[in-house]
Amino acid sequence: MSDITLPSAAEVQAKLLNGPFHQWLGLEVLAVGKGEITLQARFRDEWIVNPAGGYIHGGILATLIDLTADWALVAWTGKGVPTLDLRVDYHRPAKGDLRAEGRVIKIGKQFSSAEARILDSEGRLVASGRGLYATAQA
């Protein structure tokens, strides 16, 4: 995989926004490096699980963990990879815009792993997780 040209942030942004769900999430690629990605997710009222508390549903956070870890692998391999397993830990209620940071842990011939952290607008960790992804050649 070392002979693959890494995609630019603009190329990743274009690929990412091909998906209507990613568009709905309001994702913006802030930075891309080899096996690393930073995304911004713009808050939507539909994310709120409890109007009285105003905090974001855990499913949105799990989605951001999965897609950020996945796209960190895209930043390494240049192609999308299917999720095989995912673990998410919730650290505090999330509100407002979110920043998602992902990085590759290990690249393998069949399987690879990556992790992600979700931060609130004040830089506090609200969720983190790790995924296992299928990276076998098609």
Whether the pLDDT of residue 61 is over 60: the answer is: yes
Residue 79: what pLDDT?
82
Whether the pLDDT of residue 33 is over 60: the answer is: yes
At 138, the pLDDT band (50, 70, 90 cuts) reads very low
Residue 1: what pLDDT?
45
Q: What is the DSSP string of 47-68?
A: GEEETTTTEEPHHHHHHHHHHH
Whether the pLDDT of residue 3 is over 80: the answer is: no
Whether the pLDDT of residue 31 is over 70: the answer is: yes
Structure tokens at 103: 């990085």
Segment 120-133 shows an average pLDDT of 97
Domain coordinates of the chain in residue numbers? 9-134
List pLDDT tens digits, range 62-119.
999 999 999 999 888 888 899 999 999 999 999 999 999 999 999 999 999 999 999 9
Can you give the pTM of this predicted structure?
0.91
CATH class of 9-134: alpha beta
% of the chain with per-residue pLDDT over 90: 72
Residues near 135 by Cβ (< 8 Å), separated by ≥ 6? 73, 77, 81, 107, 108, 109, 110, 111, 112
